[in-house]
Amino acid sequence: MRILGISAFYHDSAAALLVDGVIVAAAQEERFTRKKHDPAFPKNAIEYCLEEAGITMADVDYVAFYDKPFLKFERLLETYLAFAPRGFLSFKTAIPVWMKEKLFQKDFLRKEFKKYDPDFDWMNKLLFAEHHQSHAASAFYPSPFEEAIVLTMDGVGEWATTSVAIGRGNKLEMVKEIHFPHSLGLLYSAFTYYTGFRVNSGEYKVMGLAPYGQPKYKDLIMEHLIDVKEDGSFRLDMSYFNYATGLTMTNQKFADLFGKPVRGREGEELEQFHMDIAASVQAVTEEVVLRLTRSLAEEYGIKNLCMAGGVALNCVANGKVLRDQAFENVWVQPAAGDAGGALGAAMTAHYHHKGEPRVADTGKDFMRGSYLGPVYEQADIEKRLTEAGAVFEVLSDEDTIAATADAMAAERAIGWMQGRMEFGPRALGGRSIIADPRSPKMQKILNLKVKYRESFRPFAPSVLREDVAQWFDLDGDSPYMLMVADVHKDKQKEMTPQQEALFGIEKLNVPRSDIPAVTHVDYSARIQTIHEDTNPRFYGVVKAFKERTGCPVSVNTSFNVRGEPIVNTPEDAFRCFMGTELDNLVVGNCFLKKEDQDKKLKLDYKNAFELD
Amino acid sequence: MAFIAELWAFIKERKKFWLLPVIVVMVLFGGLLVLAQGSAVAPFIYTLF
């Protein structure tokens, strides 16, 4: 049976294809259109999925959409009604969009699919899953567990903002939900807005900023903004927020509570105050998530936990859940955001709707390392790079790995494009920028000369699975870079009192460990474990780097600049290489050095993309 | 027509008959806004969707 899952029209459109329950392909539309968080109908992603499986739309048995538009509309109307006459401005803005497009999504989807197949039987083939059901399905069905508690938390879907389900075999039963407007995701987004970052993409920055601050305002938040019960359920005091009826996330009362106005985007300096605010909301989030997971573990006595939804991308909180050990095993869907909804919708159709059997007894998950996107054959890569004007050497497999490891050891920044593209927001060694984590200057170089992003943002390490426990306080798999743990005590370097006294971001320049480029100011690191079975090539490079330097760790950051979607094609990779100060590019077996390239092909990438 | 039938089926399924007059009024009102406005641009705050 072939099932195509779709998420679209809000942010991060994506498509995923299941063939007899196996995830054959999954990709986000932004990677093809080069528009970050592209919400459009995922035409390119769908075409890629069909091509990967070698089928046409006529061969697809079902199409599953990841949420229910009418239910969302119901929530919208009831919210306006509850708050009326406040919210008229928001109503005036939102209703025309609904009247023109969103209410007629089914019709729109039908028309789009008819373009592929005029005989498309939309009455029977088009299925809809609820938003949180899609998230929960994406967390449970591909997980390695036969039985698990499934916790999903995000901004909002239709009504649910937090939901708990129990997964057993091919069954997934929702057991409780917290409804809009009470939302942990929206609380975090409110602070994202307040600290001057973009809602729905700047949440990572708030998380990255948190270690520079002290959670001074945690009690204030817990006292005024959110009422958290012992079991982790919560309610927000809506008098501080504006998102239910207004066009901003927070209001004047919110700003008055903290004593400062909303930080203007990009213009205003980040101050210690904003770092303390970030630390505080991060601490509150962790507190809520931990109370939830502890009470769920106690209530149901199930040892496995699966998580998805935007809040599950908060890897600092995930790391704490793992170390808390309320659950023996924790698995987080790598595409935990809305893109993953496409996969969840398809899996809901396969297991829930069609009742197909599911056996999870291998101890491994079904995401295949999340390497589910396009791949390019060597001959194709050479042709594409040649047409783009690139100068490159073609090396053997062994020499490609050796040359890359040598370049890393020589402190060169490398664009690394190999195999299938990752599904989800993280680069996992398929479309990554890799570098030597021991280099004290690498963090600054990568932030300012390659990624063109804020200098406070740390980089993540990828470490050989067998070496993770020697280098970090983690002894388990973290293949999707969704767990944060500290750099191992033996590798840490204590800061002098003078260094301790440095102002937030200045601290980042003090080498705090043997691998300073991937160590945050609080000694934490967002870890990816590299597994030979899912990515032998990336494993090979880091192993070769270890042989040269004794260090089994690489810097791993997504292959893009700030505001750009991660590269997909060899041409995207070459453009990004020529638009930044990357020193090498390795695509398949093609090895490129910046000094060999035609200077006329240099691009200005610094301002090429709208800031995120 | 298919749209009206689906909306009706949805209201029956959710047992939200009380929403019907609200929907009619809001849809009429929304329709006026659409006519008055010309183009619909999705707002920035995503809870509005």
Q: CB within 8 A of A372, min separation 6: which ones?
A: A16, A23, A24, A25, A26, A27, A420, A421, A422, A423
- Smallest CA–CA distance, residue A472 to chain B, in Å, is 37
Torsion sign over Cα A209, A211, A212, A217: positive
Residues of B in contact with A97 (CB under 8 A): 40-43, 48-49
Q: For residue A466, what are the CA distances in angstroms to A14, A474, A476?
A: 33, 11, 9
Residues of chain B found within 8 Å of residue A101, distances taken between Cβ atoms: 40
Search chain A and give the residue with CA nearest B25: A77
Whether residue A96 and residue B42 make contact (CB cut-off 8 A), yes or no, is no
**Inter-chain contact B40–A97, Cβ cutoff 8 Å?**
yes
Q: Spell out which residues of chain A touch residue B41, defining contact as CB-CB under 8 Å.
A: 97
Do the chains contact at B46 and A99, CB–CB below 8 Å? no
Asked if the ipTM is above 0.90, the reply is no
Are B43 and A102 in contact (CB < 8 Å)? no
pLDDT, tens digit (0-9, with 9 covering 90-100), for A458-491: 899 999 999 999 999 999 999 999 999 999 999 9
Residues of A in contact with B37 (CB under 8 A): 96
Contact between chains at B34 and A99 (C-beta distance less than 8 A): yes
Q: Are A290 and A324 in contact (CB under 8 A)?
A: yes
Tell me the angle at which helices B19-37 and A88-100 cross, rounded to the nearest 10 degrees.
Answer: 80
The pTM (predicted TM-score) of the whole model is: 0.94
pLDDT in tens, A166-218: 999 999 999 999 999 999 999 999 999 999 999 988 999 999 999 999 999 99
C-alpha A162, offset from chain centre? 18
Identify the closest residue of chain A to B1 by CA–CA distance: A107
Q: How far apart are CA A561 and CA A385, in angstroms?
A: 20
Which residues on chain B are in Cβ contact (under 8 Å) with A243?
A: 45, 47
pLDDT surpassing 50 at residue A542? yes
Per CB-CB distance under 8 Å, the chain A contacts of B9 are: none
Query: Which of A65, A68, A74 is the best mutation test for B, with the most CBs of B within 10 A?
Result: A74
Does the beta-carbon distance from B33 to A11 stay under 8 Å? no
Q: Identify all chain B residues contacting A95, using CB atoms and an 8 Å cutoff.
A: 26, 29-30, 33-34
Of A97, A98, A186, the CB nearest to B47: A186
**pLDDT (mean) for B19-26:** 83
Residues of chain A whose beta carbon is less than 8 angstroms from a beta carbon of chain B are 9-11, 39, 70-72, 74, 76-78, 80-81, 90, 92-104, 106-107, 155-156, 180-181, 186, 199-200, 243-244, 246-249
The C-alpha of A187 sits at a distance from chain B's nearest C-alpha, in angstroms, of: 12
Tell me if B47 and A104 make a contact (CB, 8 A cut-off): no
Contacts of B7 in chain A (CB under 8 A): 70
Tell me if B46 and A97 make a contact (CB, 8 A cut-off).
no
For residue A88, pLDDT beyond 50: yes
**What are the chain B neighbours of A78 within 8 Å (beta carbons)?**
19
A149 SS3 class? strand
CA distance to partner chain B, nearest, from residue A178 (Å): 15
Task: Kindly list the residues from chain A whose CB atom is less than 8 angstroms away from the CB atom of residue B42.
Answer: 39, 97
> Is the Cβ–Cβ distance between A344 and A133 less than 8 Å?
yes
More confident residue, A345 or B1: A345
Structure confidence by residue, pLDDT tens digits, A129-180 = 999 999 999 999 999 999 999 999 999 999 999 999 999 999 999 999 999 9
* B41 to chain A, closest Cα gap in Å: 7
Indicate if the pLDDT at residue A266 is higher than 70.
no
Tell which of A97, A130, A184 to mutate to test the B interface (max B CBs under 10 Å): A97
CB A369 within 8 A of CB A535: yes
Averaged over A349-353, what is the pLDDT?
97
Of B22, B29, B43, the CB nearest to A247: B43
**Would you say residue B25 has pLDDT above 70?**
yes
Inter-CA distances, A485 with A471, A473, A526, Å? 10, 6, 7
pLDDT at A54 over 60: yes
Average pLDDT, integer, range A305-324: 97
Mean pLDDT, rounded, of chain A: 94
pLDDT band of residue A414 (cuts 50, 70, 90) is very high
Across A334-338, average pLDDT: 96
With a cut of 80, say whether residue B41 has pLDDT above it.
no
pLDDT band at A87 (very low <50, low <70, confident <90, very high): confident
Place of tokens 């610094």: A606
Would you state the pLDDT for residue A267?
Answer: 66
DSSP secondary structure string for all residues of A161-176: EEEEEEEETTEEEEEE
pLDDT > 80? residue B45: no
pLDDT of residue A565: 96
Per-residue pLDDT tens digits for A502-527: 777 777 788 889 999 999 999 999 99
Classify A547 as helix, strand or coil.
helix
Retrieve residue A52's tokens: 């990967």
Work out whether strand A62-65 and strand A22-28 pair parallel, antiparallel, or are unpaired.
unpaired
**Cα–Cα nearest to A446, from A516, A390, A504, A502:** A516
Percent of chain A with pLDDT over 70: 99
- The rounded distance, in Å, linking the Cα atoms of A530 and A462 is 6
Q: Which secondary-structure segment (H or E) carries A25? A: strand A22-28
CA distance A188 to A183: 9
User: Are residues A10 and B3, on separate chains, in Cβ contact within 8 Å?
Assistant: no
Span A359-377, pLDDT tens digits: 997 889 999 999 999 999 9
Query: Which of A68, A77, A154, A612 best tests the B interface by mutation, with the highest count of B CBs <10 A?
Result: A77
Strands ordered across the beta sheet of A14-19: A22-28, A14-19, A2-7, A62-65, A126-128
Instruction: Select the residue from A12, A70, A248 to test the B interface by mutation, using most B Cβ atoms within 10 A.
Output: A70
Instruction: Find tokens 């009504």 and name the residue.
Output: A159
Q: Domains of chain A (ranges plus CATH)?
A: 2-66+68-128+338-361 (3.30.420.40), 184-330 (3.30.420.40), 378-600 (3.90.870.20)
Chain B residue with CA closest to A101: the answer is B40
Q: What is the pLDDT of residue B49?
A: 45
Size of interface A-B (CB pairs under 8 A): 86
Q: Which residue in chain B has the smallest CA separation from A108? A: B3
Closest to A99 (Cβ–Cβ): which among B30, B44, B49? Answer: B30
